[in-house]
Structure 1
Amino acid sequence: MIRTTCLAAVTALVATAALAHHGWSWAEDQLSRLAGTITQVTIAPPHPTLLVEDAQGTVWTVELGNPGRTQRAGFVEGTAAPSARVEVLGNRDQDASQARIKAVRITIEGRDFDFYPERIPPGV
């Protein structure tokens, strides 16, 4: 009985941590746009990321989808490099002091990479 209770507690903690990390609870509900220049590309778990400098000189962390989702969107190693211009459509961090956005779509040189097409309203 104690073993089953401990196992259930550990399972609940792991599931809660996974949901907190992979969820959208930290992000605003509305979509925002960000334009800038890529300064760094990282294609590595848990989430590939871009660092993007906007026109004001702020460097943003742009989280892409998980590695599988990112690859299915067509964004793979070598797709983008530092100095490329990028437009990001995504959900900003609710904490305005954090320059972080979870991308649902990025556009590089006119090519769209849709990581979460189900979150993109029609016509956007």
Structure 2
Amino acid sequence: MFKRLTIAAALAAVPAAAVAHHGWSSYDESKPITLTGSFQTVTWGNPHGTATTRWQGKQWGIVLAPTSRMQARGLTEAEIAPGKRVSITGYARRDGAPEMRIERVMVGGKTVELR
């Protein structure tokens, strides 16, 4: 009985995990956006980092890459800390929600590709 409940619970959790993470198809890759400013918040964590910034009069959510990828490509948490000046290039959500998936970060004279 316990084994069946464990399996049922595991199977029930799979769809929730799949829904919790967004797919990249919800971002409009035909219209790259580049903006320069600073992040208000940064979360250095997995499954990927996140940040927030003000742009076009709105608070935007920024989807970064996994921390291991950012570090492997030479981007440090300190370089994108809140208040640090950065340029970012990415794609906005197709549905108009104020969220961007970032492809690259330009900071301190270097460009870091995140995808």
Letter in 2 for 1:38: F
Aligned to 1:33: 33
Paired residues of 1:41 and 1:49 also in contact (CA < 8 A)? yes
Measured against aligned partners, the alpha-carbon deviations of 1:50-107 in whole angstroms (never above 9, x if no partner) come to 21223x43221111112222222222322222222222211211111x1111111011
SS at match of 1:61: strand
Whether the 8 Å CA contact 1:43–1:76 is kept in 2: the answer is no
Structure 2 residue matching 1:79: 3-state secondary structure: helix
Is residue 21 from structure 1 mapped to residue 21 from structure 2 by the alignment?
yes
Question: For the Cα contact (< 8 Å) 1:31–1:89, is it kept in 2?
Answer: no
Q: Is the 8 A contact 2:64 2:101 kept in 1?
A: yes
- 1:109-120 equivalences under 5 Å are 109-116=108-115
Q: Which runs of 5+ in 1 are unaligned?
A: 117-124
Aligned to 1:122: none
Mapping 1:36-55, distance limit 5 Å: 36-54=37-55
Q: Distance in 1 between matches of 2:23 and 2:68?
A: 16
Cα deviation, 1:18-63, whole Å, max 9, x if unaligned, reads 4872531211132422323211111012210121223x43221111
TM-score by length of 2: 0.73
Hey, what's the Cα distance between the residues in 2 that align with 1:80 and 1:93?
Answer: 22
SS, match of residue 80 in structure 2: coil
Count the aligned residue pairs. 111
> Structure 1 counterpart of 2:103, which letter?
V
Distance of aligned partners of 1:112 and 1:61 in 2 relative to their CA distance in 1, 3 Å threshold: same
CA distance in 1, matches of 2:20, 2:91: 16
